[in-house]
């Protein structure tokens, strides 16, 4: 993946999320869970590095801009719990 640039984390609440998953569906489902709660730039597709297992994607979140009616700054544990189910 490309390096993270300073502008991506230039203020509190900006987050860069690198996702590694077994397949496209899993990675994109996780990204959608994040997008349902916070403003995010969509990766749109995953990448596969030759010789590496699974797929990867990167998305950028702005935790200062919740988008869902139940969005909260402490919602990340809820997202992680949903993914583990």
The domains of the chain are located at: 9-79
The H or E element that residue 31 is part of is: helix 24-35
Q: Which CATH number fits domain 9-79: 2.60.40, 1.20.1740, 3.90.1070, 3.30.30?
A: 3.30.30
pLDDT in tens, 6-21: 766 778 888 888 899 9
* Helix, coil or strand: residue 35: helix
Give the predicted TM-score (pTM) of the model: 0.66
Q: Which of 57, 80, 73 is nearest to 13 (CA)?
A: 73
Measured over the CA atoms of residue 29, residue 5, residue 8 and residue 44, the dihedral's sign is: negative
* Residues whose CB falls within 8 Å of the CB of residue 73, separated by 6 or more in sequence, listed in order: 63, 66
The pLDDT tens digits for 37-67 are 888 777 678 888 889 889 999 888 888 887 7
């Amino acid at each position: 993946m490309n390096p993270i640039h300073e502008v991506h984390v230039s203020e509190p609440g900006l987050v860069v999320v690198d996702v590694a998953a077994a397949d496209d569906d899993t990675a994109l489902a996780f990204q959608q869970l994040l997008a349902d709660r916070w403003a995010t730039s969509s990766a749109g597709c995953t990448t596969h590095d030759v010789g590496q297992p699974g797929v990867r994607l990167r998305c950028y979140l702005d935790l200062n801009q919740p988008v869902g009616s139940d969005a909260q700054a402490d919602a990340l544990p809820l997202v992680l719990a949903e993914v583990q189910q």
